[in-house]
Structure 1
């Protein structure tokens, strides 16, 4: 029988252990691998849509859907490209930004659940995050793909701007650092249509972005200290480290606090009161908030 995207999804889902994605495997669990509900939550899709994909009743998934499923299923690059072809899509081409998060990085994230960690693509679109990230910085799951782009959020006005990422204090250094990083990305990924369109959009809508872009600064966004204003506990000051994964150019943004500090106590309070377990995982369901 010819393979379809649905049969491939079922096979890939069955080979993953709950612990691979940061979940506790309870005694008496009958499902082999991930349940459809778990895959849907990880990929940001409805359970009904995952069922229809697996049954072959949904036949034209978008590239974003396939990319989300590939990340959730921890596919290797060759498997991700195979999934694109099964969906009737062209795999990502050279010179375009990768949204693929390697399986090893995802396994690492599953074990770093107690830390707020976000994974960004080279154009600063948020791809995945730990439960502690959602607790500290707001649950991104209800935001659209466009709203998850940090550069767009920094320079946009109104409710779609950084206010929708409910917590970062005004940071005069953040905008210039992101603009310089984005210019570097445009050189590295000259064929990426979304990146080209993002720069054109921001140049047409933000005078501040245009001014900074025309200054011509180039360089990666690096580590810094950030102060987060949280609606429950007030200010939390963290060390923010930006780690780039060689070979795929995804960036891990990791927030940490000094052990025993007042900031550590606030972060622990947020984890406990919002259901993040000791192993860093969180129960299914919506996050703390999707918008402030």
Structure 2
């Protein structure tokens, strides 16, 4: 355990976070840059005295539970989380849950594909980044609460915009089967993540279809090479589906492109102009 380096690292991470980012009121008399020590301790579920001793390089080695709480409270990236563990003399294990932190270069890639609908999916099936054409083809994800941006929950529990299968997909049964397989594999990789565990429990309780698929114990999904959407404004859109794996974040970039010169390419071009507006506005 490197007490001095750990103390400096914790202090630097604490000072960079604004109260608003941590969901705390700023208050009229705040002089400390970033968060106060007692605020970090509260967010990490440890005593202020112990956290103060960590920053003063006087504390004993923190447990893995304390390190997990500190990483959460200080909003550490995966690399920073690993560094924290190494400084504390406790080499990191696998992340406790699927990463939702999208690398900036991946965000730039998604936004530089104007003729393709592209989005980033977490290992739990949540849409965590997207470009304008993806929002136009499916729906405006920015207008949805976070729980409704999870495709696995949506395919089994809804709501489905415009009625019928989610986004009018031509293969809803196969999509549901693939989602259940992916979630089972994710649950095995992150057995201690409360969100993944809660999602599985919710789907088992509320969806007979999911419970049936879950009981099969399948985990291998065949790649989807083509997908057809039925859009309320431009009609049927058939696209090629390519998936890029971001292995260090356990994420994937899904890219939908239309065959050049096809009616679907024209439909995507029209959608890029229409955007996320709907006929009933």
Compute the displacement of 1:243 (Å).
2.0
Is the CA contact (8 Å cut-off) linking 1:154 and 1:162 kept in structure 2?
Answer: no
Among residues 50, 53, 56, which one is paired with 2:26 in the alignment? 56
Distance 1:6 1:141 in 2: 30
Compute the displacement of 1:160 (Å).
8.2
Residue 270 to residue 160, structure 1, CA distance change in 2 (3 Å)? closer
Is the CA contact (8 Å cut-off) linking 2:124 and 2:150 kept in structure 1?
Answer: yes
Distance 2:209 2:145 in 1: 24
Match of 2:273 in 1: 272
- For CA contacts below 8 A with separation 6 or more, give which structure has more relative contact order: 1
Match of 2:228 in 1: 227
Match of 1:147 in 2: 148
Compute the displacement of 1:157 (Å).
4.9
Match of 2:187 in 1: 186
TM-score by length of 2: 0.66
SS in 2 for 1:253: strand
Query: Equivalences for 1:250-265 in 2 at 5 Å?
Result: 250-265=251-266
Give ranges in structure 2 of 5+ residues lacking alignment.
Answer: 1-10, 28-33, 45-70, 84-92
Larger Rg: 2
Query: Equivalences for 1:70-85 in 2 at 5 Å?
Result: 77-78=78-79
Residue 260 to residue 191, structure 1, CA distance change in 2 (3 Å)? same
Match of 1:109 in 2: 110
Residue 7 to residue 53, structure 1, CA distance change in 2 (3 Å)? farther
TM-score by length of 1: 0.64
**Cα deviations by residue, 1:48-88 (Å, 9 ceiling, x for unpaired):** x78x989935988x99xx99xx8xxxx96446899xxxxxx
SS in 1 for 2:267: helix
SS in 2 for 1:180: helix
Give the number of equivalent residue pairs.
222
Q: Which segment drifts farther, 123-132 or 222-231?
A: 222-231
Residue 125 to residue 186, structure 1, CA distance change in 2 (3 Å)? same
Give ranges in structure 1 of 5+ residues lacking alignment.
Answer: 10-48, 83-91, 275-286
RMSD value over aligned CA atoms?
3.8
Residue 202 to residue 273, structure 1, CA distance change in 2 (3 Å)? closer
Match of 1:239 in 2: 240
Distance 2:221 2:101 in 1: 20
